[in-house]
């Protein structure tokens, strides 16, 4: 089993409920699955950092590094971080590899830069179950989860290659 990171970004108020739904809906898709928030990383791993202008970027990069370590060891991480700067999220995407970005629409943080190509968008007021189904499908489409029987259909393979080309990997 390979690992992956589902990165929730956007409306912070809606992300906790969605993360809980994803934890249940994605159970069994990786060796282990956990949810980490930027606030938890800030509290546990960044408590001695100076609170300068780039502090939020430091927190997001550390959360991304944790996702990288977990995913390369077959675990899945649901990362909850408003992370307003697109450049920092893109750096995390490159580091992790098996990275799926979910844009949670609603009240955005000040200065928020929307992702260029979020794999999944959660509309304001949308039921978490519907988002979980789309995230699960996106994980399959991107090759982060194996299809039933560990064999991809020609259609699935074409979608995966198309996505990898769009992301610049092929």
Q: How many domains does the chain have?
A: 1
Model confidence pLDDT, tens digit, residues 10-68: 888 888 999 999 999 998 888 889 998 888 888 778 777 777 777 788 888 889 999 99
How buried is 134 (Cβ within 10 angstroms: 0-12 exposed, 13-18 middle, 19+ buried)? middle
pLDDT tens per residue, range 92-149: 889 998 999 999 998 887 788 888 888 999 988 899 999 999 999 999 998 888 765 4
Find the domain containing 92 and state its range.
Answer: 4-166
Report yes or no: 19 and 9 within 8 Å, Cβ to Cβ: no
CATH number (domain holding residue 161): 3.40.50.300
- Per the CB < 8 A criterion, the answer to whether 7 and 87 are in contact is no
Angle at which helices 38-45 and 55-72 pack, to 10 degrees? 100
State pTM to two decimals.
0.81
Quick one: 92 exposed, middle or buried, by C-beta within 10 A (0-12, 13-18, 19+)? buried
| Dihedral sign of CA atoms 62, 71, 166, 82 in order | negative
């Amino acid at each position: 089993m390979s690992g992956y990171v589902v990165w929730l970004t956007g409306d912070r108020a809606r992300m906790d409920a969605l993360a809980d739904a994803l934890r249940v809906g994605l159970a069994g898709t990786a060796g282990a699955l956990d949810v980490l928030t930027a606030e938890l990383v800030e509290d546990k791993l960044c408590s001695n950092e100076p609170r300068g202008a780039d502090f939020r970027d430091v927190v997001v990069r550390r959360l991304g590094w944790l996702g990288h370590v977990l995913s390369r060891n077959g675990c899945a991480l649901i990362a909850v971080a408003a992370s307003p700067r697109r450049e920092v999220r893109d750096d995390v995407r490159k580091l992790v590899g098996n990275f799926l970005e979910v844009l949670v629409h609603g009240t955005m943080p000040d200065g928020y830069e929307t992702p260029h190509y979020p794999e999944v968008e959660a509309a304001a007021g949308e039921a978490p179950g519907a988002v979980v189904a789309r995230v699960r499908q996106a994980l399959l489409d991107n090759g982060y989860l194996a299809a039933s029987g560990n064999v991809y259909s020609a259609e699935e393979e074409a979608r995966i290659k198309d996505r990898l080309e769009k992301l610049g990997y092929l």
